[in-house]
Chains A and B, each alone.
Chain A
């Protein structure tokens, strides 16, 4: 369980997060939605100790992120950030293999290779596994980065807008893979999404943030309503039902 208690964050005079308290129990996919600048990425960054905690506490399975060593946490929680500039002189396989670093510290074992192969397969990268990263498209690189995070084989997976640069096919493939991982491997996935329809279709729970606060939290059916979405994003978003599935249509001119 990821427990976030009274977490605040400020850069200078700008308050990014204001006294956030929320718990994410083990298992399932939790989607983090909300307008730009709501503090979603900062919250993930704090949970993955990329940013130092200023106030409050965050713990993962009762290990406080501020006092537990990085080595221990790296086997518990993996994160994919929004903007990644990884070196270009790496093959896809090498990059994904870095995900095994917390376990094998660079000396890959048979078991590591097996997990790397599995990650490559899971994210449709097997055929391009020997290609250099700078020969890939943005979407392919994005998938390689997700595969690397998965390869870390942690109970918790934090993904910050993993659908960036992905076309419709791969976006839905990625979400299906994540759903599959969450269901069959008992992984806990927290994912920042901008397309709320993906959140509504694939997540077990949606947490909505706005101006550094949690403004809505519940099952997709509770959040995917005209009133709830209107409150989060500040404009009218019609929601229709297609085969029992609520679909938001923010497209009206």
Chain B
């Protein structure tokens, strides 16, 4: 039996996709449609990557306010990227095979996030502390990023800078295939592990009591989150509060934290917000550059509301 609310979300997401593809079609249909299709796939993929990584991250950290980007994981990604530019030089960097580059960046990000975040989860810090550490990590790596940006050659800087801002218009389509495969693999893995994630959400002791290998699960989930963050950051750049917005909305709609329902719900919500929003701004309001800003603003408001509610409890 499929939840009624999921069917509704699915229909809405489909409507958004159809609207995105069809509104205001002009000129060479084949060309326009293929252009839009690529963008649509990229938007869906980014949405799913952000949404699913946030759900898994929140479950593993037993926390509803943290997201990978609040913990500075995307700052890590950007740092890894500029470090590559710095070490190789802009010319060598741009002439690298995009897929190889992406692969190296993903692996670097996985290693960095395991090295930084796993020890923190081990010591079982409370939420306020984790949040603080996340902010510090974010600032640290953004500062390191801008330090390197100042030191490197201006031409190299231009190469690196192009990738450091969220932009839903200028999606890096070169990586689309490899990113799609990665996202798909992650989705299959998460879906397979949905019941395990439910148990993980009960907390460490209960999960171990029920036979979960806690360390292995934590490591696997963090690796998954890191790869999904890499996908979304590589395609559109860093986003801060998007994941939080998606999960908060989805949770409000399906009123459960069970992963077999929450994961499809949050993926659909992500598609609705990103594809629907892009349709609205690009085809109806004629100003597509602002989607990132507006959605981030909404996400930021949700973040504040969650913090405020949490502090009153």
Contact = CB atoms under 8 A, between A and B. Distances in A.
Contacts of B201: 87
A94 B201 CA distance: 13
A194 interface: no
Contacts of A69: 213
Interface stretch (B16-24, B106-114, B204-212, B223-231): B204-212
A102 B211 contact: yes
B195 A105 contact: yes
A73 B202 contact: no
Q: How large is the interface on B (under 10, 10 to 19, 20 to 34, 35 or more residues)?
A: 20 to 34
Question: Which of A74, A86, A106 gathers the greatest number of chain B CB atoms within 10 Å?
Answer: A106
B255 A89 contact: yes
B257 A98 contact: no
A149 to B, nearest CB: 8
A101 B211 contact: yes
A98 B212 contact: no
Nearest to A105: B195
B209 A79 contact: yes
A106 B212 contact: no
Contacts of B202: 86-87, 98
A86 B203 CA distance: 7
A106 B208 contact: no
Contacts of A94: 258
A62 interface: no
B206 A89 contact: no
A70 B198 contact: no
A50 interface: yes
A84 interface: yes
A46 to B, nearest CB: 12
A187 to B, nearest CB: 16
Contacts of A107: 195
Interface in B250-268: 255-258
Question: Which of B202, B210, B213, B255 gathers the greatest number of chain A CB atoms within 10 Å?
Answer: B210
Contact of A71 (B203, B205, B211): B211
Contact of A86 (B194, B196, B206): B206
A98 B256 contact: no
A153 B303 CA distance: 42
Interface string A66-86: 000111111100110100111
A98 B255 CA distance: 19
B52 interface: no
Contact of B257 (A74, A84, A89, A102): A89
Contacts of A49: 208
Question: Which of A69, A70, A149 gathers the greatest number of chain B CB atoms within 10 Å?
Answer: A70
B210 A84 contact: no
Interface string A140-168: 00000000010010000000000000000
B220 to A, nearest CB: 14
B194 A74 contact: no
Question: Which of B204, B208, B255, B256 gathers the greatest number of chain A CB atoms within 10 Å?
Answer: B208
B195 A84 contact: no
A152 B205 contact: no
B199 interface: yes
A48 interface: yes
Contacts of A74: 209-211
Interface of A: 48-50, 69-75, 78-79, 81, 84-87, 89-90, 94, 98-99, 101-102, 105-107, 149, 152
6 contacts: A73-B211, A81-B205, A84-B203, A87-B257, A99-B210, A106-B198
Given A86-B206, A94-B258, A149-B209, 15 more contacts: A48-B208, A49-B208, A50-B205, A70-B212, A78-B209, A79-B209, A84-B205, A89-B257, A90-B257, A99-B210, A102-B211, A105-B195, A106-B198, A152-B209, A152-B210
